């Protein structure tokens, strides 16, 4: 037996990390094309980076990081929508504005919190630290996403096809 398979068989944290990574890869592989073809890939990137200020504020207040991240993500999405609706700025530019501003605010807050190491670990994560409950939550959400995509495949695909078939102006 090779060292890789031996270590997987011996250590539970490696099995959890491998299983969770495979699940995330499958989920992203299924929904990724819809996101890219709809032109929303920058939106996902912006919101994922825009949670940093919420995480930093949660850390400073001593509350669960999820609440700050969720609130920050929602506010970022609303901000992108407001800029897009109420100005002549294009959608991708409004996403870039919010992304840059939130990331800058997050870096400033991390500096003020004087705990860059803890928040960096939270931001980037560590797949080897995945707990059993995280693995099961990922599996549950992944199955839900797969079921929704299977049930609503045509509804998901139709707007993408319309967008691809529209003549390009400019």
Residues of the chain above pLDDT 70, percent? 87
HSE, CB side, 13 Å, CA atoms: give it for residue 127.
Answer: 13
Q: What is the pLDDT of residues 153-164, one digit of tens each?
A: 777 776 666 666
Q: What is the pLDDT of residues 81-113, one digit of tens each?
A: 898 888 888 878 888 888 899 989 988 888 887
Q: What is the mean pLDDT of residues 126-146?
A: 90
Nearest to 139 by CA among 39, 19, 46: 19
Q: How far is CA 125 from the centre of its chain?
A: 12
Locate the domains of the chain by residue range: 1-31+131-170, 41-129
CA dihedral 99, 105, 110, 116 (to 10 degrees): 30
Q: What's the rounded Cα separation, in Å, for the pair 116 and 124?
A: 12
């Amino acid at each position: 037996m090779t060292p890789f398979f031996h270590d997987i068989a011996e250590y539970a944290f490696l099995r959890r990390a491998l299983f969770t990574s495979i699940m995330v890869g499958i989920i992203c592989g299924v929904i990724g094309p819809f996101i890219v073809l709809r032109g929303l890939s920058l939106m996902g990137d912006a919101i994922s980076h825009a949670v940093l200020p919420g995480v930093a504020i949660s850390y400073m207040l001593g509350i669960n990081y999820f609440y700050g991240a969720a609130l920050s993500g929602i506010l970022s999405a609303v901000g992108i929508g407001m800029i897009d609706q109420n100005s002549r700025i294009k959608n991708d530019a409004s996403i870039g504005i919010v992304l840059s501003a939130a990331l800058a605010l997050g870096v400033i807050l991390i500096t003020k919190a004087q705990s860059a190491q803890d928040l960096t670990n939270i931001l980037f994560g560590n797949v080897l630290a995945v707990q059993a409950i995280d693995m099961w939550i990922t599996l549950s959400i992944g199955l839900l996403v797969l079921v929704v995509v299977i049930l609503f495949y045509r509804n998901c695909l139709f707007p993408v096809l319309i967008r691809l078939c529209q003549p390009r102006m400019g």
